[in-house]
Amino acid sequence: MNMYNKKRMIPLALPALVLFLGVVVIPFAIGVVYSFTSWRGSYFAGGDHFWQSFVGIENYIKAFHTKKFIDSLVYTVKFTVVAVLVITFFSLFVSLLASRLKRGIASFYRTIFFLPNLLGGLALGYIWQFIFEIVYSKILFGPQGLISLPALCNMTQNNTKALFALVLLFTWQMVGYMMIIFTIGLNNIPSEMVEAARIDGASNGQVFLHITLPMLMPSFTIVLFLTLSKCFMLLDQNIALTDGNFGTRLLATQILRTTRDSAPPDYGLAQAQAVIFFILIAVVALIQVSITTKREVEI
């Protein structure tokens, strides 16, 4: 006899189901439908109901002809590639360093590195805006500064420099988080494996290449998934640092600001961009997970 009575159990899952449907599934479905209409936010152009204002794939064609959207798409991809590489490199580097130390000291460093991750993107963005505009541009790298480096001056006022400014800020914020994941992976590598390799005469480099890296593949899957999706969906830091000016809009900012770019606000176009955004994230995430999972080794 099954002691779990269906009739009594299912109602317990209902609140979750209702919330999930009401907040995620239904708005998402409506959003996809509205992306094919000329939705204006509070009304539909061409009729009282959405079925009277269907425009087919016009919004999608318009999206790909909107320069701001294409620019933000390219900018997001560039930012994501650079940021994912930098964050992964530094978090791996820091976890390898800390893994040589005693547990107590290593966790002390981890506590420090994780700290920025707790704070809001907006608050951090404001602090870094000050650092880039005043500390970098005047004290450190300005004409009268410590070393004169024009490349590092006024980083928030130039499209390319702002990309690296955002990478600096986001790396600073994320390294601690990713370090935790790599550290778990490193601790899971059986020490007998490394010892056996050493007895066989493997050098440090060989141990790293043939044992540490392959054994860390599950951690890479998680780290890459998290950094990829977080970079793609980044919004707060982008708004706080440059507010999308100087052609620095990321996709999330672009979708939010599309409705302010025209009068009447073109919510249909924003919605089409949002659907493209979703498809992009889903495809990239699925490809990444399937590639890195294949590289994971079974113990």
Q: Is 172 in the site for another protein (CB under 8 A)?
A: yes
The pattern of x and - marking residues 36 through 65 that bind another protein according to CB under 8 A reads -----x------------------------
> Does residue 177 touch another protein according to CB under 8 A?
yes
Of 194, 86, 90, the residue nearest 98 (C-alpha): 90
Output 28 or 149, the one with its CB closest to another protein.
Answer: 28
Could you tell me the smallest distance in angstroms from the CB atom of residue 19 to another protein?
Answer: 4
Is residue 190 reached through a cis peptide bond, with omega within 30 degrees of 0 on the bond before it? Answer: no
Size of the site for another protein (CB under 8 A): 89
Please state, in angstroms and rounded to a whole number, the distance separating the CA atoms of residues 86 and 88.
6
Binding test (CB under 8 A) with another protein, winner from 61, 103, 107, 291: 107
Asked if 197 interacts with another protein (CB under 8 A), we say no
Site for another protein contains 130 (CB under 8 A): yes
Smallest separation, CB 42 to another protein (Å):
8
Tell me which of 36, 44, 79, 113 binds another protein, using CB under 8 A. Answer: 113
Confirm if 271 and 35 have CB atoms less than 8 A apart: yes
294 forms part of the interface with another protein (CB under 8 A): no
How far apart CA 209 and CA 194 sit, in angstroms, is 12
Would you say 155 and 268 are in contact if contact means Cβ atoms under 8 Å apart? no
Backbone φ and ψ of 47, nearest 5°: 165, 175
Q: How far apart are CA 273 and CA 285, in angstroms?
A: 18
